[in-house]
C-alpha cells in the first residue's frame, strides 16, 4: 500500500563556529577543519538565502574571495562547485580545499585582508518541521506543493539528498516508491536547483506534475 | 493568531502557516524578556512587536524592564558607549552600581520562566540568580556592535555573559569568541509600521510638496542623523559630480540634532557644503517623522547610505523594502544586505558613489532590477515574521542542544 508524503520544511539557525579567516592560509585551514554543517551553510544554504538572484548563485566562499581578497580566478573556481553536482558535503569540501590549495601552491601568497573583512565560518543547525501529510495521489501532491514554501523545496530537493545521503530528492523517491511514477520522478530529479532560483525550481516541479496530470485527464 | 495573520498579504499564507507550525511546539512555554526600558530606542520598539506575536502563538511571553536611578543609567550609558568603542573611565564603584541595581531588581525573577532572555548589557548581572530562581535556560541578546568594544569594560562584563546558555548577535562580525554558543540573528523591520507601511501616491506627493521638493525633477535621498560617520558632506560632494550630468535634486533627511552638540556642528557643515543650492534640501526632522520619512523614501529615485561605519543599518533595510535601488557604503550590516550589483551597489568612495548614481539615473531598467531584488531579499530575510521565526527556532533549539539536524515530530 502506498504511503502518504510528509511535506516538511527546513528552518535553520545560524551559529558562529568561533573560527575566522583573515588570509587565504587561514581560510584553507578553516575549510579543512570546520564542521560539514558549516560547509553546507556556506555552499548549499546560500541558495536559499539568495534564491532570488538567478544568475548570481555564488556560494559564500567564492563571494568572500572575490570581494575581500579580489582574487577573481580563485573565486570563479570556487563558485563552480555545484552543490548538486557533489554527492555529499565531504565531496564539496574536498573540491573547495583542492582549489584553494592549488591556488596557494607552495608560495607565500596568502593575501591578507584588512581588519573587519575576515571570513566568519558559520554553521547551520537545521530544524525540519513537518507541515502536512499528503494523500498518495498525484493531484493531492500537486495542490500541496502549490501551497508549499521555498523552505520545503530546499529541504526535499537540496538538503535531504545532500545531508541525509539519499540517492535522489524526496519527491522523486516517493513518486517511484509509492506512486510508480518513474518517468515523472526522473524528470524532477533531472532539475538542478543550482541552475535556477527556488521560485523557478518550484514552478518547474509544478509544471512537470501538471503535465503528467493533464496526460491522465486526457485519457 | 490575529496579529500574525496581518502579514499574510506580505509574505504569503504558506510562510505564516510554517511559523504557526513551529509555534505549536512552544505552546505554553514561559519566555521572559528583560531589558532596561519599556519605551524609546530600538530594543523597546522590537519587543513591543515581538512579545504580542509570541503570545499570539500560545507562548507565555512576558516583558519587564529593570528599574534604576539616574546614577545607574549614567553607568549604563557609559557601558553602552564603551561597547561602541569609546574609551571610558570605568571604575570598580561604577561596576558596583550596576551589580547593586541588578540585585534590587531580583524580584523580577520571582515568577517561574522556562527561558529568560536578557537584552543588552544593563541587566546582565541578573544571570547570577539563575540557580536561586531555578530558571533553567538563559540567553543574552546583544543589540550592540561589540567589534570595537573597550576591552576593560567588556572584560568586566564577559564573565556574566559566559554564565548564559547562549548569546545572540546581529552579525558574525559582532561575535566575541565566547565559550557559549553565539547565534547570529539579524534584526528586522516591521512592514506594517508607520516607517514602512504602504502609502498612496497622493500621500507621497503631498509630503514631497510640503518639503518644497520639485515634483518634476527626480531626487536622491540619504536618511540619517547628521553624523560624520554617515558622511553627509561626502554625499553632497558626490551629488555635485552628478549634477554635471543630470538635472536632479538631493534630499538629506536627518533626525533632530538639537540635543547633540556634535550633530549641530555637522548640520552646520552640511549647510555650508550645500551653499544654498536650491536643489539640495536639508531636512532636520523630529524623531516622530516616520510617515514623512516613509513618503520621502518612496518618492525618491535612488536611496543612498554612504556610511563610513554602520551597525546593521536598518535604514537600509527600510529603503530596500520600498523597492528602491540603494547605494551603500561597504561597511557593517550594509554589506550583508546590499549584494553588489544584485540588490544594490556598494561604494566606498565619493567618486564611486557619484558613478553609481549616474549609472542608475541613466538606466531605469537597472534601477528596477536592483530595486526588485532588494525588496525580495528583505521580504525573505529581514521582516518581522522572519525575525519571529528565528526566535522560535532558537527557543526550540534549546530543547535539542547538540543536534545539527533536528526532526520535529
* Spatial distance between the Cα atoms of B70 and B65, rounded to a whole number of angstroms: 15
List the single residue in B172, B396, B409 with the smallest CB-CB distance to A122: B172
Q: Which domains does chain B have, with CATH numbers?
A: 2-188+384-400 (3.40.50.2000), 201-381 (3.40.50.2000)
Which residues lie closer than 8 Å to A190 by C-beta, 6 or more apart? none
Assign B355 a pLDDT band (cuts: 50, 70, 90). very high
Residue B369 C-alpha, separation from nearest chain A C-alpha, in angstroms: 10
Cell of B76: 549604563
Assign B50 a pLDDT band (cuts: 50, 70, 90). very high
CA distances A108 to A3, A76, B202, Å, are: 58, 21, 62
Assign A53 a pLDDT band (cuts: 50, 70, 90). low
pLDDT (tens digit, 9 = 90+) per residue, A6-44?
999 988 999 999 999 999 999 999 999 999 999 999 998
Residues of B with Cβ-Cβ distance to A160 under 8 angstroms? none
pLDDT at residue A108 greater than cutoff 70: no
Q: Give me the mean pLDDT over the B148-173 stretch.
A: 93
Q: Which residues pair with A8 in a beta bridge?
A: A130
CB within 8 Å: A147 and B14: yes
* Spatial distance between the Cα atoms of A172 and B307, rounded to a whole number of angstroms: 49
Cα dihedral A37/A42/A45/A46 (nearest 10): 180
* B400 and chain A in contact, CB less than 8 A: yes
Residues of B with Cβ-Cβ distance to A66 under 8 angstroms? none
Location of C-alpha cell 557619484 = B354
Residue B405 C-alpha, separation from nearest chain A C-alpha, in angstroms: 5
pLDDT at residue A213 greater than cutoff 70: yes
The alpha carbon dihedral of B400, B402, B405, B407 has a sign of negative
Could you say which residues from 137 to 166 on chain B have a Cβ atom under 8 Å away from some Cβ of chain A?
A: 147
Helix (H) or strand (E) run with residue B94 in it:
helix B92-104
Assign A57 a pLDDT band (cuts: 50, 70, 90). low
pLDDT of residue B144: 87
Name the residue among B47, B82, B103, B106 with its Cα closest to residue B158: B82
pLDDT at residue B394 greater than cutoff 80: yes
* Spatial distance between the Cα atoms of B128 and B116, rounded to a whole number of angstroms: 12
- Which residue in chain A has the smallest CA separation from B148? A116
Q: Give me the mean pLDDT over the B222-228 stretch.
A: 91
3-state secondary structure of B228: helix
Kindly tell me the number of DSSP H helices and DSSP E strands found in chain B: 16, 13
Question: What backbone torsions phi and psi does residue A103 show, to the nearest 5 degrees?
Answer: -65, -40
* B390 and chain A in contact, CB less than 8 A: yes
Assign B41 a pLDDT band (cuts: 50, 70, 90). confident
Alpha helices in B184-341 (DSSP H): 201-210, 232-243, 261-274, 290-299, 314-321, 334-337
* A107 and chain B in contact, CB less than 8 A: no
List the single residue in A51, A127, A151 with the smallest CB-CB distance to B406: A127
Is residue A146 within 8 Å of residue A206, measured between CB atoms? Answer: yes
Residues of B with Cβ-Cβ distance to A114 under 8 angstroms? none
3-state secondary structure of B25: coil
Residues of A with Cβ-Cβ distance to B15 under 8 angstroms? 149
Residues of B with Cβ-Cβ distance to A35 under 8 angstroms? 404
- Which residue in chain A has the smallest CA separation from B22? A129
List the single residue in B177, B184, B394 with the smallest CB-CB distance to A18: B177
* A131 and chain B in contact, CB less than 8 A: yes
CA angle, corner B398, sides to A93 and B136, nearest 5?
A: 145
* Spatial distance between the Cα atoms of A1 and A57, rounded to a whole number of angstroms: 41
CA distances B94 to A45, B80, B129, B146, B257, Å, are: 45, 13, 20, 20, 29
* Spatial distance between the Cα atoms of B277 and A93, rounded to a whole number of angstroms: 57
Residues of B with Cβ-Cβ distance to A37 under 8 angstroms? 404
Residues of B with Cβ-Cβ distance to A51 under 8 angstroms? 380
Q: Give me the mean pLDDT over the A85-107 stretch.
A: 87
pLDDT at residue B362 greater than cutoff 90: yes
List the single residue in B22, B182, B397 with the smallest CB-CB distance to A125: B397
* Spatial distance between the Cα atoms of A174 and B231, rounded to a whole number of angstroms: 57
pLDDT of residue A162: 85
Domain ranges of chain A: 5-9+129-218, 13-123
pLDDT (tens digit, 9 = 90+) per residue, B253-286?
987 555 567 788 899 999 999 999 999 999 999 8
Give the residue with greater pLDDT, B319 vs A49.
B319
Is residue A23 within 8 Å of residue A113, measured between CB atoms? Answer: yes
pLDDT (tens digit, 9 = 90+) per residue, B77-111?
889 888 878 888 889 999 999 999 999 999 999 99
Assign A109 a pLDDT band (cuts: 50, 70, 90). low
Cell of B377: 531579499
* B380 and chain A in contact, CB less than 8 A: yes
CB within 8 Å: B181 and A126: no
Q: Give me the mean pLDDT over the B360-364 stretch.
A: 96
Is residue B138 within 8 Å of residue B127, measured between CB atoms? Answer: yes
Q: What is the percent of chain A with per-residue pLDDT over 90, rounded to a whole number?
A: 59
CB within 8 Å: B393 and A13: yes
- Which residue in chain A has the smallest CA separation from B386? A11
CB within 8 Å: B18 and A131: yes
* B396 and chain A in contact, CB less than 8 A: yes
CB within 8 Å: B407 and A131: no
Residue B3 burial by Cβ neighbours in a 10 Å radius (0-12, 13-18, 19+): middle
pLDDT at residue A52 greater than cutoff 70: no
**Which DSSP letter does residue B125 get?**
G
CB within 8 Å: B184 and A14: yes
Cell of B111: 515568577
3-state secondary structure of A75: helix
Residue A218 C-alpha, separation from nearest chain B C-alpha, in angstroms: 31
* B406 and chain A in contact, CB less than 8 A: yes
Q: Give me the mean pLDDT over the B168-193 stretch.
A: 94
CB within 8 Å: A127 and B393: yes
Location of C-alpha cell 543574552 = B140
Q: What is the percent of chain B with per-residue pLDDT over 90, rounded to a whole number?
A: 77
DSSP string, B144-198: S--TT--HHHHHHHHHHHTTSSEEEESSGGG----SS-EEE----B-TTSTTTS-
CB within 8 Å: A129 and B22: yes
CB within 8 Å: B377 and A52: yes
Q: Give me the mean pLDDT over the B1-21 stretch.
A: 90
**Lowest-confidence region among A171-180, B33-42, B178-187:** B33-42
Q: What is the percent of chain B with per-residue pLDDT over 70, rounded to a whole number?
A: 98
* Spatial distance between the Cα atoms of B238 and B220, rounded to a whole number of angstroms: 11
Cell of B162: 559566559
* B404 and chain A in contact, CB less than 8 A: yes
CA angle, corner A56, sides to A52 and A59, nearest 5?
A: 100
Question: What backbone torsions phi and psi does residue A79 show, to the nearest 5 degrees?
Answer: -70, -20
pLDDT of residue A112: 84
Name the residue among B330, B281, B320 with its Cα closest to residue B298: B320
Residues of A with Cβ-Cβ distance to B22 under 8 angstroms? 11, 127, 129
Amino acid at each position: 500500500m502506498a504511503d502518504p508524503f510528509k511535506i516538511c520544511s527546513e528552518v535553520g539557525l545560524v551559529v558562529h563556529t568561533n573560527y575566522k579567516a583573515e588570509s587565504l592560509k587561514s581560510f584553507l585551514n578553516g575549510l579543512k577543519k570546520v564542521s560539514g554543517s558549516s560547509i553546507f551553510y556556506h555552499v548549499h544554504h546560500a541558495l536559499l538565502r539568495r534564491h532570488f538572484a538567478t544568475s548570481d548563485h555564488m556560494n559564500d566562499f567564492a563571494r568572500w574571495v572575490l570581494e575581500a581578497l579580489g582574487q577573481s580566478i580563485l573565486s570563479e573556481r570556487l563558485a563552480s562547485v555545484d552543490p548538486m553536482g557533489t554527492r555529499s558535503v565531504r565531496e564539496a569540501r574536498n573540491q573547495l580545499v583542492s582549489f584553494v590549495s592549488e591556488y596557494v601552491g607552495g608560495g607565500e601568497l596568502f593575501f591578507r585582508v584588512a581588519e573587519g573583512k575576515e571570513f566568519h565560518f558559520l554553521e547551520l543547525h537545521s530544524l525540519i518541521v513537518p507541515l502536512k501529510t499528503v494523500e498518495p495521489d498525484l493531484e493531492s501532491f500537486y495542490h500541496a506543493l502549490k501551497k508549499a514554501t521555498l523552505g520545503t523545496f530546499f529541504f526535499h530537493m537540496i538538503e535531504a539528498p545532500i545531508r541525509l545521503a539519499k540517492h535522489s530528492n524526496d519527491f522523486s523517491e516517493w513518486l517511484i516508491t509509492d506512486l510508480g511514477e518513474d518517468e515523472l520522478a526522473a524528470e524532477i530529479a533531472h532539475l538542478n536547483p543550482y541552475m535556477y532560483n527556488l521560485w523557478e525550481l518550484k514552478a518547474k516541479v509544478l509544471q512537470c506534475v501538471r503535465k503528467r496530470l493533464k496526460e491522465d485527464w486526457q485519457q | 493568531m490575529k496579529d500574525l495573520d496581518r502579514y499574510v498579504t506580505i509574505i504569503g499564507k504558506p510562510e505564516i502557516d510554517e511559523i504557526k507550525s513551529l509555534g505549536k511546539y512552544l505552546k505554553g512555554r514561559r519566555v521572559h524578556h528583560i531589558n532596561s526600558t519599556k519605551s524609546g530606542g530600538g530594543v523597546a520598539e522590537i519587543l513591543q512587536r515581538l512579545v504580542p506575536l509570541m503570545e499570539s502563538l500560545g507562548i507565555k511571553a512576558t516583558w519587564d524592564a529593570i528599574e534604576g536611578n539616574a546614577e545607574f543609567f549614567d553607568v549604563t550609558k557609559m557601558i553602552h558607549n564603551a561597547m561602541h568603542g569609546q574609551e571610558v573611565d570605568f571604575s570598580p564603584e561604577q561596576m558596583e552600581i550596576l551589580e547593586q541595581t541588578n540585585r534590587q531588581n531580583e524580584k523580577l525573577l520571582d515568577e517561574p520562566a522556562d527561558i529568560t532572555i536578557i537584552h543588552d548589557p544593563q541587566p546582565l548581572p541578573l544571570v547570577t540568580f539563575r540557580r536561586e530562581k531555578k530558571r533553567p535556560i538563559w540567553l543574552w541578546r546583544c543589540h550592540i556592535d561589540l567589534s570595537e568594544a573597550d576591552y576593560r569594560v567588556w572584560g568586566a562584563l564577559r564573565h556574566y555573559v559566559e554564565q548564559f546558555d547562549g548569546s545572540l548577535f546581529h552579525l558574525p562580525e559582532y561575535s566575541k569568541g565566547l565559550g557559549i554558543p553565539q547565534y547570529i540573528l539579524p534584526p528586522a523591520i516591521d512592514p506594517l509600521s508607520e516607517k514602512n507601511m504602504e502609502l498612496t501616491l497622493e500621500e507621497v506627493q503631498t509630503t514631497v510638496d510640503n518639503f518644497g521638493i520639485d515634483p518634476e525633477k527626480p531626487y536622491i535621498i540619504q536618511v540619517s542623523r547628521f553624523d560624520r560617520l554617515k558622511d553627509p558632506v561626502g554625499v553632497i560632494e558626490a551629488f555635485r559630480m552628478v549634477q554635471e550630468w543630470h538635472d536632479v535634486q538631493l534630499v538629506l533627511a536627518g533626525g533632530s540634532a538639537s540635543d547633540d552638540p556634535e550633530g549641530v556642528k555637522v548640520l552646520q557643515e552640511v549647510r555650508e557644503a550645500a551653499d544654498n543650492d536650491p536643489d539640495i534640501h536639508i531636512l532636520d526632522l523630529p524623531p516622530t517623522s516616520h510617515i514623512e520619512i516613509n513618503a520621502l523614501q518612496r518618492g525618491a529615485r535612488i536611496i543612498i547610505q554612504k556610511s563610513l561605519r554602520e551597525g546593521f543599518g536598518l535604514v537600509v533595510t527600510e529603503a530596500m523594502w520600498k523597492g528602491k535601488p540603494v547605494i551603500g557604503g561597504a561597511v557593517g550590516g550594509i554589506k550583508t544586505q546590499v549584494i553588489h550589483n544584485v540588490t544594490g551597489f556598494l561604494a566606498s568612495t565619493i567618486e564611486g558613489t557619484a558613478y553609481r548614481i549616474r549609472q542608475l539615473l541613466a538606466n531605469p531598467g537597472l534601477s528596477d532590477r536592483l530595486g526588485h531584488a532588494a525588496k525580495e531579499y528583505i521580504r525573505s530575510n529581514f521582516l518581522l515574521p522572519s525575525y519571529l521565526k528565528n526566535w522560535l527556532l532558537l527557543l526550540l533549539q534549546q530543547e535539542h542542544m547538540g543536534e545539527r539536524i533536528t526532526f520535529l515530530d
